[in-house]
C-alpha cells in the first residue's frame, strides 16, 4: 500500500497543494514551523479522519476558511482507490472511490498508517492512557469489529457516568437502568479486553524479534496486559463478561459515591518487560527507546499479517532522537518494504548512506519544492 499523490485545500498552512510521491522514502526537508509536520498530519487525517495533534477539527482548517479538503489515491495490491475527506463546522464528509460513506467507520481502514514521533517514546514511560490510545488507534485500523465495539463502549460509558452522577446527586433514584447500562458495558468491555489481548500477543511476537536484534541478543521483550478483571491471558469473552458484571456489582457503592465508572478497559494498561523487569520503572533510557522502537516497527509486520497490505509509515523528526545504532536499524527495517514519509531539518550522514534513492521535498512556508 502506498500513496500515489495528495491534494490539500485550506489545510493548516497549505492553501492549495498537489504533489506526487514515490513508493519508497519521501523526505520532507526544511526548517522548523514551515509545514513539514502539517503535511505528515494530513496523511494521518486522511487515514483516521482525526488528527494526532488536536481534537478540534477547526484547528486543521486554514485561518479564515470555512472548510478544508484532503484527497489522495491509495495504491493497493489489487486496485487503486481515491479517498476524499472534507472538514467543516458541519462535521466530516468522507468518500471512497467518489462514493460518500454514511459512517466514518466504513471509511477508516482504507488507508493504514503508522506514525512515529518523538513523543511516542513516552509509549513506554508515559501514562496508561497513552498506551490505551495506542492500542485503540492502531488496532482500530486493522479490525472493523474492534472499532465498532470501542465506539459502542465509549457511548455507553458516557451514558453510565452521567447516570451515576444523577444517582449521586439524587436527581434520579432508579437503579434498574444502571443495571441495564452495566450489562451492556460488560458485553462490549469483554469483547474489547479479549481483542486487545489477542492483538498484543501478535504484536509481541514481532516486537520480540526486533528487540532481540537491536539489543544484539542481550534482551528479551515481553508484554503484559494489566486488567482489573481476569489475569488469565486465555480467558474467553464469556468469562470476561461474567467478571466485569461481578466487578460492576462489587464497585457499585463506590461508583455511586464518586459518580463515575471505576472498572473496565478504559482503566487497563500494558506493561513492557525487558528480561522480566518492567522497563518503565527499571529500564534505562536506552532500553525504553529500544522498546518503543521495537513496538512501533512491529506494527508494520502485524498490519501486513492482519490486512494483507503494508501500511504507510510516518516518521516525524524521529532520526534526531535516535542514536546511530537505532537509526541504522530503523532505516534498514523500512528500506524497500514500506512507503515512508520522513520529516527532518537535515539528513544526517548515516541517513543519506542508508536511504536508497529517496525523493526529497524542500518545504518553506507551506510551499513544496521537489529536488531533482
Per domain, the residue ranges of the chain are 1-112+309-371
Sequence ranges of the binding site for ATP: 30-37
pTM of the predicted protein model: 0.84
99 contacts 110 by C-beta, under 8 angstroms: no
128: pLDDT strictly greater than 80: yes
How far, in whole angstroms, is CA 161 from its chain's centroid? 26
Position 351 confidence tier, pLDDT thresholds 50, 70, 90: low
Query: Using CA atoms, how far apart are residues 285 and 135, in angstroms rounded to an integer?
Result: 22
Per-residue cell: 277: 523487569
Per-residue cell: 32: 522548523
How far, in whole angstroms, is CA 229 from its chain's centroid? 25
Q: Which contacts (CB < 8 Å, 24+ apart) does range 201-206 have?
A: 201/233, 202/302, 202/305, 202/306, 203/295, 203/298, 203/299, 203/302, 204/298, 206/297, 206/298, 206/299, 206/301, 206/302
Instruction: Annotate 75-112 with DSSP letters as a single string.
Output: E-SS-EEEEEEEEETTEEEEEETTEE-SSHHHHTTSS-
Residue 214's pLDDT is 84
* Beta strand extents in the chain (DSSP E only): 2-11, 14-20, 25-29, 67-75, 80-88, 91-96, 99-100, 113-116, 221-226, 269-274, 277-278, 312-316, 340-344, 359-364, 367-370
Residue 55's pLDDT is 85
39 contacts 14 by C-beta, under 8 angstroms: yes
Position 43 confidence tier, pLDDT thresholds 50, 70, 90: very high
Q: Is residue 226 left, alpha or beta, with left meaning phi > 0 and alpha meaning psi from -120 to 50?
A: beta
181: pLDDT strictly greater than 90: yes
Per-residue cell: 111: 488507508
Residue closest to 1 by CA, chosen among 85, 109, 136? 109
Residue 120's pLDDT is 79
Per-residue cell: 308: 494483507
Residues 158-178 have a mean pLDDT of: 85
Per-residue cell: 126: 508515559
Q: Which residues contact 231 (CB under 8 A, 6 or more apart)?
A: none
Q: How many CB atoms lie within 10 A of CB 362?
A: 16
Sheet containing 80-88: which strands, arranged edge to edge? 14-20, 2-11, 67-75, 80-88, 91-96, 99-100
- Give, in words, the CATH class of 1-112+309-371: alpha beta
The string of pLDDT tens digits covering residues 214-232 is: 888 888 999 999 998 877 7
For residue 27, what are the β-bridge partners? 342, 360
3-state SS, residue 351:
helix
The string of pLDDT tens digits covering residues 274-321 is: 999 999 999 888 888 889 889 988 999 999 998 889 999 998 888 777
Query: Using CA atoms, how far apart are residues 227 and 225, in angstroms rounded to an integer?
Result: 6
Q: How far are the Cα atoms of 13, 48, 85, 154, 355 from residue 101, in angstroms, in the given order?
A: 27, 14, 10, 22, 38
350: pLDDT strictly greater than 70: no
Residue 129's pLDDT is 92
Q: How far are the Cα atoms of 106, 150, 156 from residue 265, in angstroms, in the given order?
A: 24, 10, 13
Taking each continuous run of H as one helix and of E as one strand, the counts in the chain are 12, 15
Sequence ranges of the binding site: 30-37
Residue with cell 518494504: 337
Amino acid at each position: 500500500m502506498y500513496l500515489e499523490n495528495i491534494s490539500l485545500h485550506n489545510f493548516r498552512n497549505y492553501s492549495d497543494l498537489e504533489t506526487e510521491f514515490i513508493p519508497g522514502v519521501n523526505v520532507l526537508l526544511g526548517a522548523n514551523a514551515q509545514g513539514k509536520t502539517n503535511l505528515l498530519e494530513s496523511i494521518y487525517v486522511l487515514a483516521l479522519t482525526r488528527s494526532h495533534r488536536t481534537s478540534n477539527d477547526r484547528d486543521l482548517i486554514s485561518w479564515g476558511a470555512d472548510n478544508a479538503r484532503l484527497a489522495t489515491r491509495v495504491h493497493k495490491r489489487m486496485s487503486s482507490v481515491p479517498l476524499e475527506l472534507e472538514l467543516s463546522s458541519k462535521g466530516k464528509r468522507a468518500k471512497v472511490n467518489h462514493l460518500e460513506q454514511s459512517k466514518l467507520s466504513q471509511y477508516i481502514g482504507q488507508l493504514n498508517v503508522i506514525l512515529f514521533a518523538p513523543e511516542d517514546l513516552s509509549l513506554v514511560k508515559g501514562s496508561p492512557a497513552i498506551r490505551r490510545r495506542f492500542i485503540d488507534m492502531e488496532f482500530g485500523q486493522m479490525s472493523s469489529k474492534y472499532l465498532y465495539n470501542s465506539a459502542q463502549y465509549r457511548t455507553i460509558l458516557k451514558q453510565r457516568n452521567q447516570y451515576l452522577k444523577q444517582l449521586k446527586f439524587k436527581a434520579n433514584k432508579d437503579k434498574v437502568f444502571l443495571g441495564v447500562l452495566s450489562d451492556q458495558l460488560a458485553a462490549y468491555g469483554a469483547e474489547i479486553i479479549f481483542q486487545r489481548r489477542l492483538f498484543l500477543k501478535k504484536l509481541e511476537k514481532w516486537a520480540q524479534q526486533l528487540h532481540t536484534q537491536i539489543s544484539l541478543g542481550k534482551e528479551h521483550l515481553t508484554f503484559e496486559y494489566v486488567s482489573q478483571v481476569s489475569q488469565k491471558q486465555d480467558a474467553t469473552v464469556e468469562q470476561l463478561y461474567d467478571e466485569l458484571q461481578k466487578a460492576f456489582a462489587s464497585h457499585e457503592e463506590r461508583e455511586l459515591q464518586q459518580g463515575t465508572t471505576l472498572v473496565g478497559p478504559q482503566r487497563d494498561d500494558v506493561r513492557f518487560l525487558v528480561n522480566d523487569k518492567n522497563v518503565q520503572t527499571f529500564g534505562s533510557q536506552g532500553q525504553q527507546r529500544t522498546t518503543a522502537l521495537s513496538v512501533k516497527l512491529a506494527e508494520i509486520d502485524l498490519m501486513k499479517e492482519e490486512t494483507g497490505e503494508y501500511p504507510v509509515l510516518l516518521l516525524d523528526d524521529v532520526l534526531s532522537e535516535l542514536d546511530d545504532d537505532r537509526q541504522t536499524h530503523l532505516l534498514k527495517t523500512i528500506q524497500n518494504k514500506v512507503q515512508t514519509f520522513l520529516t527532518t531539518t537535515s539528513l544526517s550522514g548515516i541517513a543519506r548512506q542508508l536511504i536508497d534513492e529517496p525523493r526529497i521535498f524542500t518545504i518553506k512556508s507551506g510551499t513544496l519544492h521537489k529536488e531533482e
